Amino acid sequence: MRRSKGMRQMRKRRGFTLTEILVSVLIMGIVMSAVLTLFFSVFKSYEFHQDIMEAKQRGQIALAAIEPVILNAGLGLSPESKDFAEYFAGMLKILPTVDDEKFTVPVQIAGDGKRKTTPETAGIHKDKYAGNELWIVYSVPSGYGVSSPDIEQFVGGTTRTVLIDPTDFASLKNNLSDGSTPTAQNNDLKSWVSFPGSSFPFVVKSDPQGLNSTNRGLQLESRKTQAVHLYDELHYVRAAKISASAGSMSVEYLSGGGKQPVVEGIRDMLCVYDPDGSRTLTVTVLARADTRRPELNIVSVEGWTGPIPDNKYRYAAVSKSWRMRN
């Protein structure tokens, strides 16, 4: 019996068999699994690089924030500890009665492990000073220059008048205090100035508020014999203690303002200084990313030899070195 035309068309349009469907589903599952695995890998790679970038940026911001202080460290100040103790004698902001809080030189390593070669740096920074706090006495440019007709020679313990230009003294008055009394000399760093061409700081003995276009003389006392040179720029003497604790870097300005946070996410800091050799200061900060990831177990960070505070964050160790010019 001959098949009808309709039956022949239905036979040509028959569907997939169960086996063919199962094979198709299996192949599609393998492909989707590979795609998802690739997507997850790309996502994790992005997450990793995002965390590391955040941590590095924090570290770079922290180092950039303290760089102006470091670059002006010891400007116009003798680096010798004996001289330092003599010209700052009685200055309680620099030489307080508590020995552990005293400055001994313009660039000083302090904090935990305040000694030559800490356990964390043994064999790496041999014969250098290392610690997790940085104390600095530095000088800030004022924009005012010496206009005395010749070099003013100071004998230790004497007071002389130095003429200052330009004649708009508003900024200088805001940044200087009268150090004519022992109380002001001992407690207010704003009564101290320095000059890059000199070797020791000076105490301001007159009231800067009285400066004007006619009276341009600033009375200064030098506790050690030295000279002030024509056209040399007056600098404000300041001091700061830089540390990293409680998850952030902070700077304590001893001339006022107290301790101020600089950057969040800085978990620790290592400062290494070689005062007797290359006079190179290296500061390394351990910066962390924003996001805490419970699946992580960070046990070490490249460039960091100390402990890891919280192993559920990604970290970056960021370093910078400066050669002390003063």
pLDDT of 99 > 50? The answer is yes
DSSP at 73: B
Pairwise CA distance, residues 266 & 58, whole Å: 7
Compute the half-sphere exposure of residue 239: CA atoms within 13 Å on the CB side of its CA. Answer: 26
Backbone φ and ψ for 264, nearest 5 degrees, come out as -80, 155
Can you tell me the mean pLDDT for 44-68? 90
pLDDT at 42: 66
pLDDT at 127: 44
Can you tell me the mean pLDDT for 113-119? 42
pLDDT at 181: 80
Contact 244, 132 (CB under 8 A): yes
pLDDT at 188: 85
Nearest to 137 by CA among 194, 65, 197, 185: 194
pLDDT of 10 > 70? The answer is no
Can you tell me the mean pLDDT for 291-308? 90
H or E element in which residue 48 lies = helix 18-71
- What is the chain's mean pLDDT, rounded? 85
Can you tell me the mean pLDDT for 174-196? 87
pLDDT of 18 > 50? The answer is yes
pLDDT in tens, 171-180: 999 999 888 8
pLDDT at 8: 55
pLDDT of 117 > 50? The answer is no
pLDDT band at 33 (very low <50, low <70, confident <90, very high): confident
The first and second tokens of residue 255, run together, are 């001339």
Contact 234, 195 (CB under 8 A): yes
* Percentage of residues in the chain having pLDDT higher than 70: 87
Pairwise CA distance, residues 159 & 221, whole Å: 4
Q: Which residue has the higher pLDDT, 13 or 19?
A: 19
pLDDT in tens, 243-290: 988 788 999 999 887 888 888 999 999 999 988 888 899 999 999 999
* Distances from the Cα of 213 to the Cα of 165, 170, 216, 287, angstroms: 9, 11, 6, 50
Rg (CA), the chain: 33
pLDDT in tens, 194-240: 999 999 999 999 999 999 988 999 999 999 999 999 999 999 999 99
